[in-house]
Amino acid sequence: MAAPDVTVPKTSMTSNPHLMKWIEDCARLAKPDRIVWCDGSEAEKERLTKEAVDAGILMPLNQQKWPGCYLHRSNPNDVARVEHLTFICTPNKVDAGPTNNWMDPDEAYTKLANHFDGSMKGRTMYVVPYVMGPIGSPFSKIGVELTDSIYVALNMRIMARMGRQALEMLGSSNDFNRGLHCTGDINPERRFICHFPQDNTIWSFGSGYGGNVLLGKKCLALRIGSYLGREEGWLAEHMLILGVTSPQGETTYVAAAFPSACGKTNFAMMIPPKEYTGWKIETVGDDIAWMRVGPDGQLYAINPEAGYFGVVPGTNNKTNPNAMASIRKDTIFTNVAVTEDGEPWWEGKDGEVPERLTDWQGRPWVKGSAEKAAHPNSRFTAPAANNPALSPKVNDPQGVPISAIIFGGRRSNTVPLVLQAFNWTHGVFLGATMGSETTAAATGKVGVVRRDPMAMLPFCGYNMGDYFQHWLDMQKSIDKLPKIFQVNWFRQDSNGKFIWPGFGDNMRVLKWVLDRVAGRVAGKETLLGWVPKQGDLDVRGLDISKEALAEATSIKEEEWKTELKSQETFFEQLGSKAPEALLLQRKLLLARLEG
Ligand code: OXD
Ligand code: MN
């Protein structure tokens, strides 16, 4: 093979031979003009930001009102995750399973190498070392992303513990995720997000959108993470983590899975309603939880991320004041609109809709226009440190003990407001049979119900049947099992209006969850699980009629018969990998329904 045109510059940060060799190999393939090590320093951030502004990749927003905030406009064909172009490349197709796209690893490496070949000519390759998880934590994993995107380097600096600290933690070890990303020509025909779990490797080509290119997030922390979790006996989940402290000072930690753009960030940063004076919610994480059994037999969770890559539209001082505070400085906005005064704007922002804006594609926009000014999947990348409700435990290497796990889909019908599983296996069944209406976070039709088990359909890096079995098996190693719940904030009335107010009022449901965890209230047994007894769901001060509450919590047998059919189709797809214990749960429910 020809000698590399560009040599990897020496750095005082590392001389790790495995890392050097891999960077050399990638440079030989992609042929960048320059290679730049990222150290994660403030000075580096300033330098890269200036370069990005000069190149038109970032646009400064109004620096008086939004200090350190910038706007990035992505290519309009590249605004969401591309599930149909995301592949799990395991030697055997069955190991990726029927819910993932699969490519043979040799074929994938060859195909993508053709795209990567010379793809960084004239460009800089940034070496972005990062840690997912607190520094020095036994939960944490190290990754290095090679990217030609300055936007990726700057976002990774917010989303992960990036730079020198990662190389220090890595030392001379060969145990790191190898991520190679090239923006290419942003041609959807040449876009591939390929995972090679057996090599702890990710190759991403042809996109600049966060979920496809910030490789620590969905690719490492969920797809590769879930694969490693099964091998090593832990769980990588699409879950927020929050701590809730009672007026008596007792803190309980809860993890909750919701599909993309279904309010994880809002729930994780929730401010309880005025009836809950003295209660406090603190955010550990808003998107991903890594959970392991601790020495005391409890399940502990960390948030591997260091920032929030959140959906902007709908965020305001009513729905999420803590998110509003989090994005007020040092935030990168992607695909929002801009006011004439250089402020970011989006649908659902506080205040009047401006008469005139520049829309997310840089075009003039006038009030009343049928088109959205901000893209429905426009995003903020904000440092977790900005969050006024940040948990003091966020950097704890041991994580936080999880007492309850909540599964919640976006369902306009069928699924009641809240219920508790009868036991762990039933809880795994509730998670495994979750359905949800699709959102703008992924390309494709919005609002279609699909099965989205544990909100992991797009993120499970191996066979979904094996994943369910892994969840079932975890029971044996956890002495104090978290209680499992299912919620649905999104039920609609016959006029298509949401019945439950959601947002801060979800505290009322969370309070019942806590009461059940602590054994403070009894539940009412139904076909589906335990639900609040009459009067136990606290609706003090809430403007909701008895009838509406009854509708939000109702269980309609006809709807459940349809639901069970859809569950059956899903389980059939998994063939012999569908665990017997879950099939049995479905049969038992069917018997209860028909009994
Ligand atoms: C995300 C997603 O960006 O789930 O978190 O799409
Ligand atoms: Mn997510």
Return d(Cα 192, Cα 184) in angstroms, integer: 11
Ligand 1 pocket: which of 222, 309, 332, 379 to mutate (most atoms within 8 A of CB): 309
Residue 1 — pLDDT band, cuts 50, 70, 90? very low
Q: Which atom of ligand 1 is nearest to the CA of 309?
A: 3
Question: Do residues 384 and 339 make contact, with C-beta atoms less than 8 angstroms apart?
Answer: no
Q: Which atom of ligand 1 is nearest to the CA of 211?
A: 3
Task: Say how many Å lie between the CA of residue 163 and the centre of ligand 2.
Answer: 24
Element spanning 127, H or E: strand 124-132
Ligand 1 pocket: which of 74, 260, 410, 454 to mutate (most atoms within 8 A of CB): 260
pLDDT at 139 over 50: yes
**Tens digits of residue pLDDT in 482-532:** 999 999 999 999 999 999 999 999 999 999 999 999 999 999 999 999 999
Task: Say how many Å lie between the CA of residue 260 and the centre of ligand 2.
Answer: 5
Q: Which atom of ligand 1 is nearest to the CA of 238?
A: 4
Lowest mean pLDDT among 5-14, 159-168, 188-197, 578-587: 5-14
Percent of all residues in the chain with a pLDDT value above 70, rounded to a whole number: 99
**Tens digits of residue pLDDT in 354-370:** 999 999 999 999 999 99
Task: Say how many Å lie between the CA of residue 442 and the centre of ligand 1.
Answer: 8
Q: Where, residue-wise, is CATH 2.170.8.10 in the chain?
A: 308-383
Tell me which residues have their CB closer than 6 angstroms to ligand 1.
81, 211, 260, 287, 309, 441
Q: Which ligand is nearest to the CA of 214?
A: 1
**Tens digits of residue pLDDT in 28-58:** 999 999 999 999 999 999 999 999 999 999 9
Return d(Cα 467, Cα 579) in angstroms, integer: 10
pLDDT at 249 over 90: yes
Q: Which atom of ligand 1 is nearest to the CA of 80?
A: 6
Q: Which pLDDT score, from 0 to 100, does residue 99 have?
A: 98
SS3 call for 448: coil
Q: Which pLDDT score, from 0 to 100, does residue 2 have?
A: 42
Ligand 1 pocket: which of 74, 79, 81 to mutate (most atoms within 8 A of CB): 81
SS3 call for 141: strand
**Tens digits of residue pLDDT in 210-245:** 999 999 999 999 999 999 999 999 999 999 999 999
Look at ligand 1, atom 1, and give the residue with the nearest C-alpha.
260
How many Å separate Cα 16 from the centre of its chain? Answer: 31
Q: Where are the alpha helices (DSSP H) in 329-463?
A: 424-432
What does the pLDDT average to over 406-420?
Answer: 97
Q: Which ligand is nearest to the CA of 307?
A: 1
Task: Say how many Å lie between the CA of residue 455 and the centre of ligand 2.
Answer: 9
Nearest C-alpha neighbor of 291 from the set 249, 341, 257, 319: 257
Return d(Cα 437, Cα 407) in angstroms, integer: 14
Task: Say how many Å lie between the CA of residue 397 and the centre of ligand 1.
Answer: 24
Look at ligand 1, atom 3, and give the residue with the nearest C-alpha.
211
Q: Which atom of ligand 1 is nearest to the CA of 287?
A: 5
Question: Do residues 345 and 373 make contact, with C-beta atoms less than 8 angstroms apart?
Answer: yes
- What would the two tokens of residue 37 be? 């090590």
Task: Say how many Å lie between the CA of residue 446 and the centre of ligand 1.
Answer: 15
pLDDT at 425 over 90: yes
Q: Which atom of ligand 1 is nearest to the CA of 311?
A: 3
Return d(Cα 57, Cα 78) in angstroms, integer: 15
Look at ligand 1, atom 4, and give the residue with the nearest C-alpha.
260
Beta strand 337-339 with 356-358 is: antiparallel
For residue 345, list its beta bridge partners: 337
Considering the entire predicted model, what is its pTM? 0.97
Task: Say how many Å lie between the CA of residue 258 and the centre of ligand 2.
Answer: 8
Return d(Cα 24, Cα 13) in angstroms, integer: 17
Q: Which ligand is nearest to the CA of 238?
A: 2
Question: Do residues 119 and 205 make contact, with C-beta atoms less than 8 angstroms apart?
Answer: yes
Look at ligand 1, atom 2, and give the residue with the nearest C-alpha.
260
Q: Which pLDDT score, from 0 to 100, does residue 5 have?
A: 63
- Decide which of 3.40.449.10, 3.30.70.1520, 3.40.50.800, 3.10.20.30 is the CATH code for 17-55+80-232: 3.40.449.10
Task: Say how many Å lie between the CA of residue 147 and the centre of ligand 2.
Answer: 22
Beta-carbon contacts of 289 under 8 Å, excluding residues fewer than 6 positions away, are 235, 236, 237, 239, 240, 241, 255, 301, 302, 303
Q: Where are the alpha helices (DSSP H) in 441-545?
A: 464-477, 506-517
Residue 595 — pLDDT band, cuts 50, 70, 90? confident
**Tens digits of residue pLDDT in 381-403:** 999 999 999 999 999 999 999 99
What does the pLDDT average to over 67-85?
Answer: 96
Is the C-alpha dihedral spanning 178, 179, 184, 187 positive or negative? positive
Q: Which atom of ligand 1 is nearest to the CA of 264?
A: 5
Ligand 1 pocket: which of 218, 237, 305 to mutate (most atoms within 8 A of CB): 218
The CATH fold of domain 308-383:
Phosphoenolpyruvate Carboxykinase; domain 2 (2.170.8)
Q: Which ligand is nearest to the CA of 458?
A: 1
- What would the two tokens of residue 191 be? 């876009």
Percent of all residues in the chain with a pLDDT value above 90, rounded to a whole number: 97
Q: Which pLDDT score, from 0 to 100, does residue 6 have?
A: 77
Mean predicted lDDT score pLDDT of the chain: 97
Task: Say how many Å lie between the CA of residue 374 and the centre of ligand 1.
Answer: 17
Burial class (CB in 10 A: 0-12, 13-18, 19+), 441: buried
Q: Where, residue-wise, is CATH 3.90.228.20 in the chain?
A: 237-307+391-594
Q: Which ligand is nearest to the CA of 442?
A: 1
Give me the active site residues, please: 262
Give the CATH number of domain 237-307+391-594: 3.90.228.20
What does the pLDDT average to over 6-18?
Answer: 95
